[in-house]
Amino acid sequence: MKNGSVYIETYGCQMNFADTEIVLGVLKKQGYTVAQNPEDADIILLNTCSIRDNAEQRIYGRLGNLKNLKTKKPELVLGILGCMAERLRKDLIEEKKIVDVVVGPDEYRRLPEYIDIAFNGDKGIGVKLSRTETYDDIEPHREDGLSAWISVMRGCDKFCTFCVVPFTRGRERSRSLNSIVKEIEDLSARGFKEVTLLGQNVNSYQDEENDFSDLLAAAAKVDPSMRIRFTTSHPQDLSEKLLYTIAEQQNICNYIHLPVQSGSNRILELMNRTYTIEHYLNLIEKAKRIIPGVSFSTDIIAGFPTETWEDHLATLDVMRQVRYDGAYMFKYSPREGTKAYKMGDDVPEDVKTKRLQEIIDLQQQISYEINQGLIGKEEIVLVEGFSRKSNEFLSGRTDTNKVTIIPAQENIKPGDYIRIKINKATSATLFGEYLSHIVFEKSSVVLSA
């Protein structure tokens, strides 16, 4: 079997970034090395995203650039991984003739075989979806660092009518709790300080009698100095047990990403989201009661088919009621093969643009007000390194995932937990001053001067 050096570019969600580490794990086991830039690679792979049309257009643009590289170096193997591989295999191979390998999210184990086929001058195509593949036994390739992603389940059974994920990533299946805990133990031993458990719908996690709350609790117990985050939660499946688990474990972050998508019950029904706004707001209230200081982020779609001005106002209204710390906000993008695609795309582009802008402006105002309210308060920050703008400042994040900047000083290192006092805030960033270090020991918090 021939091998060489591989360069992977990753687009889209955190799940794709976690998958890239799995792919590199598979390839490294076969003797491939990792190239630091595309010019040095024998194989270039794009791990792609299909969630919205603009994601796909960007990747087509990138393929256009890579064509030049391939013209100069015809033996170069160019491949597409991820959701676009699943959705557009024919188009990619037949029309975009420069692609040699097309492998979907459930066939990464066999990627070396498909690359071999390409080295021999044929096209390597693997796009079967699986009901069981979780890559449980594959050790992902991770550079040293503070923060790691672990995908704990794959696929989605929700079939929201706008979404391609159930088609590109297949049915839901969970990894075993034991192998996830073992992976967190290894990360802790390597000095990682933060783990994010990933799944399209983590609340459906199930490993024999263990549900997602059990997994979170087990993850949190590995190392009290390690922060545990998770994403994404579906409002229908988020249980009270999970809220109590978050409240009980100090190192599970008090931050829930809970996509609402729309504030209108009529639209939620057309989206097949399976909850009402009343249920959603109830859940938010319950979470606020059970987890003091909890913060929320969300996903919102503007301009879903048939969305009226009143529907749009209902979305703005929900944003005002919940007061999200942050939001990912999108214009509706019709995806072929989904149910919503058949509903047409009847909200005109300029109306979508206007509604999205109103949503963004409102969110920015809310984030600003929330952050202003933190001035004078104390927070615990996990220090990540120098700030992007200057080595005179350090950057880290609070438990609720807010980027925080403090003046650098000798005794503060990446990976330290420090208590800070906030003295300035914008809608996106907190600024603070150092108060003291915090040391976490088994089962208790010890303050040091």
| Binding residues vs ligand 5AD (CB under 6 A) | 51-52, 162-163, 259, 261, 299, 301, 330, 332-333, 335
165 binds ligand SF4 (CB under 6 A): yes
Choose from ligand SF4, ligand 5AD, none: what does 156 bind? Cβ within 5-8 Å by kind: ligand SF4
Q: Which of 16, 196, 201, 387 binds ligand SF4 (CB under 6 A)?
A: 201
Which partner from the list ligand SF4, ligand 5AD, none does 301 bind, CB cut-off 5 to 8 Å by kind? ligand 5AD
Binder of residue 200, out of ligand SF4, ligand 5AD, none (CB less than 5 to 8 A by kind): ligand SF4
> Is 314 a residue that touches ligand SF4 (CB under 6 A)?
no
Q: Which residue is nearest to ligand 5AD (CB)?
A: 299
Q: Which two structure tokens, joined as six digits, stand for 249? A: 């474990």
- By CB under 6 A, tell whether 85 contacts ligand SF4: no
Q: Work out whether the CA dihedral 196, 199, 204, 210 comes out positive or negative.
A: negative
Asked if 376 and 335 count as a contact pair (C-beta separation under 8 A), the reply is no
User: Could you write out the DSSP letters of every residue in 81-120?
Assistant: EEHHHHH-HHIIIIISTT--EEE-TT-GGGHHHHHHHHHT
Six token digits for residue 111: 């990627």
Element counts in the chain: helices (H) and strands (E): 13, 22
Query: Closer CB to ligand 5AD, residue 24 or residue 356?
Result: 356
Q: How are beta strands 227-231 and 124-126 bridged, if at all?
A: unpaired
Return the closest-CA partner of residue 325 out of 353, 358, 291, 293.
293
Query: Which residue, 180 or 258, is less far from ligand SF4 as judged by CB?
Result: 258
Are the C-beta atoms of 106 and 85 separated by less than 8 Å? no
Rg (CA), the chain: 23
Task: Give the one entry of ligand SF4, ligand 5AD, none that residue 308 binds, where binding means its C-beta sits below a cut-off of 5 to 8 angstroms depending on kind.
Answer: none
* Identity of the residue, 134 or 395, whose beta carbon is nearer to ligand SF4 in the bound complex: 134
Q: Which of residues 207-236 bind ligand SF4 (CB under 6 A)?
A: 234
**Interface residue with ligand SF4, options 166, 170, 235, 305 (CB under 6 A):** 166
Q: Compute how many other C-beta atoms are within 10 angstroms of the C-beta atom of residue 186.
A: 14
The 8-class DSSP code of residue 38 comes to: G
CA 133, CA 108: separation in Å to the nearest integer? 10
Are 108 and 27 in contact, with CB atoms under 8 Å apart?
Answer: no
156 appears as a binding residue in the annotation: yes
Any contact of residue 200 with ligand SF4 (CB under 6 A)? yes
CB of 231 to ligand SF4, least distance (A): 11
Number of C-alpha atoms within 13 angstroms, CB side, residue 15? Answer: 26
Name which of residues 339 to 358 contact ligand SF4 (CB under 6 A): none
Ligand-binding site membership of 13 (annotated)? yes
User: Which residues between 133 and 162 bind ligand SF4 (CB under 6 A)?
Assistant: 156, 158-160
Binding mask 231-260 for ligand SF4 (x = CB under 6 A): ---x--------------------------
DSSP helix/strand/coil, 393: strand
Q: Kindly list the residues in this chain that would bind ligand SF4 in the complex (CB under 6 A).
A: 156, 158-160, 163, 165-166, 200-201, 234
Which residue positions form the known binding site for [4Fe-4S] cluster? 13, 49, 83, 156, 160, 163
Which residue positions form the known binding site? 13, 49, 83, 156, 160, 163
